[in-house]
C-alpha cells in the first residue's frame, strides 16, 4: 500500500526575519543599513547622518518623528527595523539616588549597569563590557561568576541609552546634564573586549549624538598590560588601573592576572599610555581590605610606585558581598592611609561607597547568568520560538 507523502513541512510558512535593531549601531553600520534599502551610496551617507541624529541626539525609538527623512524611506525603515533598547529585567534605586539596571540581552545573558549621581562633572554611568568575567580577583563579586560572553558595541551603548531614557536626557543638551561621565567599571574586563569597547566609545563620544567627551570616559583594567597603549590609541579614553597591592606576591593573590603581567610589566605599559599629563592622569583604584593591604608602609610604597606617573588615587572602601571572607578596613585606618597620600600631594582619595544597599557599589555587580552549553542554548532558543540569540 502506498502511503501519501507528507509535504506539510515544505509548505509551512517560514517565520519572518526579526526586525533589525538600529540602536547602538555605529555610523558605518547605519549607512550600510540604508544602502541595503536601495538608497544610493552618496545619499546614504547623508541619510545615515540624519538617522544618527534622531537616534543619538533626540533619542527617538520610532521612525515617525524623523521629519527630514522622506515618508517612503521612513516606511521602508519601519518595515524591517526597530530602534530598541535592551530589555530591563529589573531596576532598583538606592536611598542615595544610585540606580541599578539589570539588562537582559538574551535568555540567560544579563548584565548590570549603575548610574551614580554627583560623581564626575554631574553623574556617572558605570557600564559593563562582559557578562561575567574571566578574571578571578578574590575580593570581587563579579569574579565569582564565570564569563558568559562579551557584550557587543550596541549592547554597551544600549546601557547608556537606557540611563538617558530614565534621566530624561533626550535631546542631548549642552548644559545641566545629569549623565556626564562614563566609567567602564561594571562587569567584565574591558581590555578583553577592546573592539566592542572602542566601537561603543566612538558612538558615545560622537559630538552629533550622545556627546560625552572622551576625556569623561574612563576605562578600568585589572592590568592587561599588552592592550593598554592600544586602548589609548584607539579610544583616547582616560585610563584606570585596579592596583590594590604594591607588591607582586600580594597582587598575585588579589588580582591573579598579575601572575601573567607583573607590576614591572604593568607600569611599563602605563607609562607608555598616550598623552599622559597633569590634565590627563591615570586613576589608580585601591580597595581597602582589613589586615590585607592597608598598612601605612603600603601607603608609602604606593606613593613610591606612582612616582613619575601623572596619577590620581581612588581608595575604595571594600564593599562586602554574600559569602566573601574579606572585610573593609576600619575608617581610621582608611583615613590614616589617605593622609599619607594627601601629604604626598594626592587630594581627597577616598571614594564614598554608593548604592551599597542595592549591591550596586564597586565589585558588587553580578548576574545569575551562566554560560550554557550549545545544546542548552538550542533548547532555550526553541522554547523561545526561535527568536533567541543566533
Q: Which active-site residues does the annotation give?
A: 112, 362
DSSP 256-301: GGGGTS-HHHHHHHHHTSTT-BTTBPEEEEEEEBTTTS--HHHHHH
Contact 73, 44 (CB under 8 A): no
DSSP, res 204: H
Note the helical H segments in the chain: 8-11, 27-36, 41-52, 71-80, 153-167, 194-205, 228-235, 248-254, 263-271, 296-305, 331-343, 374-383
Nearest residue to ligand SAH, by Cβ distance, number only: 363
Contact 257, 223 (CB under 8 A): yes
Residue with cell 526597530: 82
Shortest spacing between CB 151 and ligand SAH, in angstroms? 13
Q: Quick one: cell of 335? A: 583615613
Cell numbers given for 68: 527630514
CA distance 263 to 281: 18
Q: How far is the CB of 243 from ligand SAH (least distance, A)?
A: 8
Nearer of residues 203 and 319 to ligand SAH, judged by Cβ: 319
* Cell 540611563 belongs to residue: 163
CA distances from 320 to 327, 353, 363 (A): 7, 11, 9
Question: Strands 130-131 and 123-126, how do they pair?
Answer: unpaired
- What cell numbers appear for 204 in the block? 558615545
Nearest to ligand SAH of 115, 321 (CB atom): 321
Write down the least CB distance from residue 16 to ligand SAH, Å.
Answer: 40
Q: What is the gyration radius of the CA atoms in the chain, in angstroms? A: 23
What value, to the nearest 5°, has the Cα angle with vertex 157 and ends 197 and 16?
110
Q: Provide, rounded to whole angstroms, the least separation between the CB of residue 67 and ligand SAH.
A: 41
Instruction: Give the nearer residue to ligand SAH in terms of CB position, either 255 or 299.
Output: 255
- Closer residue to ligand SAH in complex, CB, 181/364: 364
Distance of closest approach, residue 78 Cβ to ligand SAH, in angstroms: 38
Could you tell me which residues are beta bridge partners of residue 315?
286, 350
Q: Which is nearer to ligand SAH, 258 or 364 (CB)?
A: 364
Could you tell me the smallest distance in angstroms from the CB atom of residue 381 to ligand SAH?
30
Q: How many helices (H) and strands (E) does the chain have?
A: 12, 13
The owner of cell 576625556 is: 215
Which residues in 59-91 are b (16+ Cβ under 10 Å) and which e? bbbebeebeebeeebbebbeeebbbbbbeeeee
Which residue's CB is nearer to ligand SAH, number 105 or number 321? 321
Least distance to ligand SAH, CB of residue 179, Å: 18
Of 139 and 337, nearer to ligand SAH (C-beta) is: 139
Q: Which residues bind ligand SAH (CB under 6 A)?
A: 135, 137, 139-141, 185, 189, 220-222, 242, 285, 287, 316, 318-319, 321, 362-364
Amino acid at each position: 500500500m502506498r502511503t501519501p507523502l507528507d509535504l506539510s513541512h515544505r509548505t509551512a510558512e517560514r517565520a519572518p526575519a526579526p526586525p533589525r535593531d538600529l540602536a547602538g549601531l555605529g555610523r558605518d553600520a547605519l549607512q550600510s543599513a540604508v544602502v541595503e534599502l536601495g538608497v544610493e551610496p552618496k545619499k546614504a551617507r547623508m541619510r545615515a547622518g540624519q538617522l544618527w541624529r534622531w537616534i543619538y541626539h533626540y533619542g527617538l525609538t520610532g521612525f515617525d518623528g524623523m521629519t527630514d527623512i522622506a515618508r517612503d524611506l521612513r516606511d521602508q525603515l519601519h518595515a524591517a527595523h526597530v530602534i530598541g533598547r535592551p530589555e530591563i529585567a529589573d531596576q532598583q534605586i538606592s536611598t542615595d539616588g544610585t540606580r541599578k539596571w539589570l539588562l537582559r540581552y538574551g535568555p540567560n545573558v544579563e548584565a548590570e549597569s549603575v548610574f551614580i549621581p554627583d560623581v564626575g562633572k554631574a553623574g556617572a554611568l558605570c557600564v559593563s563590557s562582559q557578562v561575567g568575567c574571566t578574571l578571578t580577583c578574590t575580593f570581587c563579586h563579579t569574579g565569582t561568576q564565570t564569563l558568559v560572553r562579551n557584550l557587543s558595541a550596541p549592547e554597551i551603548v544600549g546601557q547608556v541609552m537606557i540611563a538617558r531614557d530614565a534621566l530624561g536626557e533626550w535631546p542631548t543638551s549642552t548644559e545641566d546634564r545629569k549623565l556626564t561621565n562614563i566609567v567602564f567599571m561594571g562587569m567584565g574586563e574591558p581590555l578583553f573586549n577592546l573592539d566592542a569597547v572602542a566601537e561603543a566609545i566612538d558612538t558615545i563620544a560622537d559630538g552629533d549624538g550622545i556627546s560625552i567627551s572622551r576625556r569623561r570616559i574612563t576605562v578600568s583594567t585589572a592590568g592587561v598590560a599588552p592592550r593598554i597603549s592600544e586602548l589609548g590609541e584607539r579610544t583616547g579614553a582616560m585610563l584606570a588601573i585596579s592596583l590594590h597591592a604594591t607588591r607582586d606576591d600580594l597582587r598575585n593573590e588579589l588580582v591573579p592576572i598579575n601572575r601573567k603581567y607583573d607590576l614591572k610589566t604593568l607600569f611599563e605599559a602605563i607609562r607608555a599610555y598616550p598623552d599622559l599629563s597633569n590634565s590627563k592622569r591615570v586613576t589608580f583604584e585601591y580597595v581597602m581590605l582589613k589586615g590585607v593591604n592597608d598598612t601605612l608602609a603600603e601607603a608609602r610604597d604606593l606613593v613610591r610606585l606612582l612616582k613619575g606617573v601623572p596619577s590620581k588615587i581612588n581608595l575604595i572602601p571594600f564593599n562586602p558581598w554574600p559569602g566573601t571572607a574579606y572585610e573593609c578596613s576600619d575608617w581610621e585606618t582608611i583615613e590614616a592611609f589617605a593622609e599619607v597620600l594627601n601629604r604626598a600631594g594626592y587630594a581627597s582619595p577616598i571614594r564614598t561607597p554608593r548604592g551599597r544597599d542595592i549591591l550596586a557599589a564597586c565589585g558588587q555587580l553580578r548576574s545569575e547568568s551562566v554560560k550554557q552549553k550549545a545544546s542548552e542554548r538550542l533548547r532555550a532558543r526553541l522554547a523561545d520560538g526561535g527568536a533567541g540569540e543566533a
